[in-house]
Amino acid sequence: MGLVQDALAGDRRALARVISLVENGGPEGRAALAALHPHTGRAHVVGVTGGPGTGKSTLVNALAGVVRQRGITVGVLAVDPSSPFSGGALLGDRVRMRDLAGDAGVFIRSMATRGSLGGLAQATSDAVKVLDAAGFGLILVETVGAGQSELAIAGAAHTVVVVEAPGLGDEVQALKAGLLEIADILVVNKADLPGAAQAARALGMAADRGGAAGEAGKGGWRTPVLLTAALDGAGVPEVADAVVAHGEHLRARGMWAAHERERARAEFVDHLQRESFARLMAKVGQERVEGWVTRSATREVDAHTAARTVLSLGLACGEADVEREHSSSEGSDYF
Amino acid sequence: MGTPPRILIAKPGLDGHDRGAKVVARALRDAGMEVIYTGLRQTPEMIVEAALQEDVDAVGLSILSGAHMTLVPRVLDGLREAGLSRVKVYVGGIVPEEDAQALRDAGVVEVFGPGASTRVIASTIQQQLTGA
């Protein structure tokens, strides 16, 4: 496959094309991923997440700048939401990343979620692999403006940076489960605004208290709380240092490999689910599936029974099995 | 549903008025496109590089400064040199008709003036990118 070879050799146009193929999810994209797979596993993948307007893009811009000065190449994937109505999207993260323009050691790609929940697009992890194979040392993945449960980044990145800004909530917000718990590094951005030190203190206490369970899961890593003013770069080198330190921590504890394995498992299960679902649907046929949907909608059977029956239909070979399964499930599950 | 068309909306040059670019970006989003918005004061080199990285189908340039005869050909040349001649280029802004014709001759697909409705812009581009 010429395109993949060109991308591996550093051709940026080929790289961009391969990301599109992977993002569009067709057979060409799958073939490209298979060819790239042996070249992956070298990059440090860092997620940058946090609420809308906290300064994620600005921090990514500043962080990438610092890391470039240290001679490491940087790939950026910036995810923004697709409209549930039109399917269109406005991808505006590049506006804040103009400092990185013209640097051949940086590659920035915007991605729309295309209906995926969890703060990332379905293909984000695959696009990470493409950048990884192309040799970028650090890959920054900026999620959509996250609420409290857009946590997909935790499974996709080695290190998660959660960005907060002053004035977004009281101490109770800092105690809630979810986003803060997945943070390996907490950043209070816009530290030049009033309330920043207070926010950092509240987050620091929350991070400490999450300690027992949290630290055990993180192999003794204590989540640092760092203050930045990303617009002028203050505090950003310290964030870069913390990212490096976290990477070293993961490797020293054998957690890097464990993380890779978990990610491989999650991807495998995900692909297995989608592939088996698609094959099942193809085997059972649209018409019969719709029939069961109708029966469920008209209260003839419940959705769970309908789903189990259709699954049995798909796994069984002939029509006879289908009918038997239907009547036996009526006998056992209904009453 | 197929893959949404991707279009880069950029403002080359030094004029600081991006209202029009934002309104058009929004209309294209509502028409179902993935719009990469890059903001003010982009050089032609930055626009070409962004178009390459984002693997877009089209580039929309908003120019209100009168510098279109300098900036647009530089973007067209840059795209060609980067091997991106398949990328369609649209121009919006205040462009006199004789200039518009010259830009079309140079390879711009459409030039939209101040009177163009966002609906027409969106449907024209949509049609040309998807054939639908």
Lowest mean pLDDT among A60-64, A110-114, A318-322: A318-322
Residues A214 and A323 occupy one common structural domain: no
pLDDT tens figures, B75-106: 999 999 999 999 999 999 999 999 999 999 99
| A-B C-beta contacts closer than 8 Å | 80
Chain B residue numbers touching A101 (CB-CB < 8 A) = 45-46, 49-50
Residues A72 and A2 occupy one common structural domain: no
**Does residue A72 sit within a domain?**
yes
Under 8 Å between Cβ of A61 and A158? no
Which residue of B7, B42, B43, B54 is the best one to mutate when testing the A interface, meaning the one whose CB has the most A CBs within 10 A?
B54
**Percent of residues, chain B, with pLDDT higher than 90:** 79
Q: Do A94 and B84 touch (CB under 8 A)?
A: no
Instruction: Tell me the three-class secondary structure of A298-324, residue by residue.
Output: CCCCCHHHHHHHHHHHHHCCCHHHHHH
CATH of the domain at A65: 3.40.50.300
Query: What ipTM describes this predicted complex?
Result: 0.93
**Does residue A258 sit within a domain?**
no
Residues A131 and A278 occupy one common structural domain: no
Residues A228 and A298 occupy one common structural domain: no
Residues A100 and A237 occupy one common structural domain: yes
Under 8 Å between Cβ of A19 and A4? no
Residues A16 and A65 occupy one common structural domain: no
Residue B101 pLDDT: 95
Q: What are phi and psi of A297, to 5 degrees?
A: -65, -35
Q: What is the mean pLDDT of chain A?
A: 87
Domain count, chain A: 3
| Higher-pLDDT residue of B88, A177 | B88
Side chain identity, residue A81: P
Q: Domains along chain B?
A: 6-130 (3.40.50.280)
**Does residue A246 sit within a domain?**
yes
CB of B112 within 8 Å of a chain A CB? The answer is: no
Chain B residue numbers touching A20 (CB-CB < 8 A) = 55
Give yes or no for residue B16 having a pLDDT over 90. no
Residues A64 and A182 occupy one common structural domain: yes
Instruction: Give which of A213, A210, A191 is closest to A200, Cα–Cα.
Output: A191
Residues A2 and A103 occupy one common structural domain: no
Domain limits for position A21: 1-39
Q: Do A88 and B31 touch (CB under 8 A)?
A: yes
Q: What is the DSSP string of A90-148?
A: EE-GGGGGGGGTT-TTEEEEEEE-TT--SSS-TTHHHHHHHHHHTT-SEEEEEPSS--S
Residues 81-100 of B with CB under 8 A from A: 82-84
Residues A295 and A164 occupy one common structural domain: no
How many other C-beta atoms can be found within 10 angstroms of the C-beta atom of residue B112?
A: 22
How far does the CA of residue A110 sit from the closest CA of chain B (Å)?
7
Residues A48 and A132 occupy one common structural domain: yes
Nearest by CB to residue B4, choosing from A19, A88, A101, is: A88
Lowest mean pLDDT among A230-244, B10-24, B25-39, B92-106: B10-24
